[in-house]
């Protein structure tokens, strides 16, 4: 410290004025977040994840400029619980947003995300973020459950799945679906502005809303949540994308989502926000395989949407933040959507709630690290409804119960559980439970410890 009477200080004051007149350094602006969430997109559906005929140049470039995950998971195999986990950083069983009886919310549902949950948007609001949600919400369509009641300043979108409110005789898996067959509401904030919107324009409209929001809030920290209605069936795309893909309608739809990603990244570049924005792309659950050509592909993974085999929950995951994330990295470290909650809150300087169990972990060391950086996540629990069907620890995954994602097949319990090494057998074909009883015992212990942290709560999906 220089004493008050110091001649150096006197000289300094004479030359430059009193220190008070030097403007206080502006606190560094926290980063913006953009989460782009596809619906029912499979692990094998992007160019950069090996699809031979679906072209996704913008997502491929995003991956080349950022970090691509090979082992990124959603926290459930169907829409509503998966979205609840993303928004709360918690396994959906904790918020009551999971059920075996009704696996998602429907237009006659009276439940939704409980007010006591602290959403990512609510957490970011404590740090002054502008928050916008543009797309499919599916965490309750009654006013008290909408994005505008959950920390978002604004909302534009279809509040549940785009195949709901269908007229009789409609065929959502058709390769020539009619948008007029579906009459879901389109909301602006909490107000219905259209009924049965033209779904051929829905991807474009969500994108335009998100872009306008970014432009309007370029001078303050923002969070854009862009959960596309597509490529959930019925599949629709706008005119410029018709007949674009050798993969057919599904490929056309992905071409439009890829275009949307390109527009978002271009706008961040044009507005000079590129080095202060984390963009993350993933999907809510695996491909809806029973939709045949209208459904996606899980690539080399087993099964799809609705199941706790890898195809149901392992998803493409791409993180992009030029200047912070080293380009061209690929990681096989474990991570999941719940981690985005804790990561974004931590990067924003906001508090991760400590009055309840939060399952998300801060991924920033992994995001900003090198090719050999480890993930803080070592395990994952696979729920179907409120029941634990499987669990992964490191390379190994144990199945306690298996069941096809859809159809009449009954659940099959396994004692001893099936055990697969996902590193050398990602397709889950070779049961190694007999060889590794120690690994199985460890996973069983881990699941028991997890189970002790789960409290019984009202099941929101069963309220109607
Ligand atoms: Mg879905």
The residue-averaged pLDDT of 325-331 equals 97
The residue-averaged pLDDT of 184-196 equals 98
pLDDT band at 27 (very low <50, low <70, confident <90, very high): low
Cβ within 8 Å of residue 238, ≥6 positions away: 200, 201, 203, 204, 256
Cα–ligand 1 centroid distance for 313 (angstroms):
10
Lookup: tokens for 267: 């706008």
Residue 22 has pLDDT above 90, yes or no: no
pLDDT band at 163 (very low <50, low <70, confident <90, very high): very high
Element (H, E) at 123: helix 120-125
The catalytic residue positions are 79, 138
Residue-wise pLDDT tens digits, 357-406: 999 999 999 999 998 999 999 999 999 999 999 999 999 999 999 999 99
DSSP code of 400? E
Cβ within 8 Å of residue 315, ≥6 positions away: 41, 43, 72, 73, 74, 282, 283, 285, 286
The helix-helix angle for 79-88 and 337-348 (nearest 10°) equals: 20
Cα–ligand 1 centroid distance for 79 (angstroms):
4
The residue-averaged pLDDT of 20-41 equals 82
Beta strands in 41-80 (DSSP E): 67-73
| Averaged pLDDT score across all residues of the chain | 95
Q: Strand order of the sheet with strand 387-393?
A: 379-384, 387-393, 396-402, 412-421
Provide, rounded to the nearest whole percent, the portion of the chain with pLDDT above 70.
94
Can you say how many angstroms the Cα of residue 375 is from the centroid of all Cα atoms in its chain? 18
Residue-wise pLDDT tens digits, 126-143: 999 999 999 999 999 999
pLDDT band at 3 (very low <50, low <70, confident <90, very high): very low
Residue appearing with tokens 């995003």:
62
Please, is 40 exposed, middle or buried when counting C-beta atoms within 10 Å of its C-beta (0-12, 13-18, 19+)?
A: buried
Lookup: tokens for 360: 């998300």
In this prediction, residue 371 carries a pLDDT of 83
What is the CATH architecture of 32-167+175-367? 3-Layer(aba) Sandwich (3.40)
In this prediction, residue 28 carries a pLDDT of 81
Residue extents of the structural domains in the chain: 32-167+175-367, 379-462
Element (H, E) at 457: none
Residue 18 has pLDDT above 70, yes or no: no
Lookup: tokens for 300: 């080399």
Lookup: tokens for 102: 């009704």
Residue-wise pLDDT tens digits, 62-101: 999 999 999 999 999 999 999 999 999 999 999 999 999 9
Cα–ligand 1 centroid distance for 330 (angstroms):
25
Residue 158 has pLDDT above 70, yes or no: yes
In this prediction, residue 13 carries a pLDDT of 44
In this prediction, residue 17 carries a pLDDT of 46
The residue-averaged pLDDT of 19-37 equals 77
Cα–ligand 1 centroid distance for 359 (angstroms):
21
Q: Which of 97, 215, 204, 213 is nearest to 150 (CA)?
A: 97
Whole-structure pTM value: 0.94
The residue-averaged pLDDT of 336-362 equals 98
Which residues have C-beta under 5 Å from ligand 1, the single-atom ion?
39-40, 79, 284-285
Report the alpha-carbon distance of residue 2 to residue 456 in Å, rounded: 61
User: Do residues 352 and 345 make contact, with C-beta atoms less than 8 angstroms apart?
Assistant: yes
The residue-averaged pLDDT of 295-302 equals 98
Report the alpha-carbon distance of residue 129 to residue 232 in Å, rounded: 30
Cα–ligand 1 centroid distance for 63 (angstroms):
22
Cα–ligand 1 centroid distance for 429 (angstroms):
25
What is the CATH architecture of 379-462? 2-Layer Sandwich (3.30)
The residue-averaged pLDDT of 435-444 equals 98
The larger pLDDT score, comparing residue 408 to residue 170, is at 170
Phi, psi angles (nearest 5°) of residue 315 = -130, 160
Residue 2 has pLDDT above 60, yes or no: no
């Amino acid at each position: 410290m220089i004493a008050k009477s110091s001649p150096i200080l006197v000289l300094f004051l004479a030359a430059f004025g009193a220190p008070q007149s030097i403007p206080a350094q502006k606190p560094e602006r926290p980063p913006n977040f953009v989460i782009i969430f596809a619906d029912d997109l499979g692990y094998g559906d992007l160019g950069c994840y090996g699809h031979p005929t679906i072209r996704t140049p913008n997502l491929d470039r995003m991956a080349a400029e950022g970090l691509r995950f090979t082992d990124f998971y959603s926290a459930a195999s169907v829409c509503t619980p998966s979205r609840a986990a993303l928004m709360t950083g918690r396994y959906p069983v904790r918020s009551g947003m999971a059920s075996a009886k009704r696996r998602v919310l429907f237009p006659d549902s009276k439940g939704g995300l409980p007010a006591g949950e602290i959403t990512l948007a609510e957490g970011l609001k404590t740090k002054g973020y502008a928050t916008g949600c543009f797309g499919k919400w599916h965490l309750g369509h009654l006013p008290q459950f909408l994005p505008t009641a959950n920390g978002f300043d604004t909302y534009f979108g279809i509040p549940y799945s785009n195949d709901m409110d269908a007229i009789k005789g409609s065929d959502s898996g058709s390769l020539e679906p009619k948008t007029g067959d579906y009459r879901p509401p389109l909301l602006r904030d909490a107000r219905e502005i259209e009924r049965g919107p033209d779904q051929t324009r829905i991807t474009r409209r969500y994108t335009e809303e998100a872009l306008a929001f970014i432009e309007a809030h370029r001078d303050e920290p923002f969070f854009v949540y862009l959960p596309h209605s597509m490529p959930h069936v019925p599949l629709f795309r706008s005119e410029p994308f018709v007949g674009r893909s050798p993969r057919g309608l599904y490929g056309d739809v992905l071409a439009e989502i890829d275009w949307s990603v390109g527009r978002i990244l271009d706008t961040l570049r044009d507005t000079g926000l590129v080095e202060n924005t984390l963009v993350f792309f993933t999907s809510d659950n695996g491909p809806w395989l029973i939709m045949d050509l209208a459904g996606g592909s899980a690539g080399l993974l087993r099964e799809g949407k609705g199941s706790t085999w890898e195809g149901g929950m392992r998803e493409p995951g791409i993180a992009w933040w030029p200047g912070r994330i080293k380009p061209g990295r690929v990681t096989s470290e474990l991570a999941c959507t719940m981690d985005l909650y804790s990561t974004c809150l931590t990067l924003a300087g906001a508090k991760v709630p400590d009055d309840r169990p939060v399952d998300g972990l801060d991924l920033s060391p992994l995001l900003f690290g090198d090719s050999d950086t480890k993930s803080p996540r070592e395990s994952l629990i696979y729920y179907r409804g409120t029941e634990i069907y499987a669990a992964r620890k490191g390379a190994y995954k144990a199945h306690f119960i298996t069941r096809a994602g859809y159809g009449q097949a009954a659940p099959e319990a396994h004692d001893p559980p099936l055990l697969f090494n996902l590193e050398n057998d990602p397709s889950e074909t070779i049961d190694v439970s007999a060889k590794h009883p120690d690994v199985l015992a460890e996973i069983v212990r881990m699941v028991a410890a997890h189970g002790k942290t789960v409290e019984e709560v009202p099941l929101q999906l069963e309220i109607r």
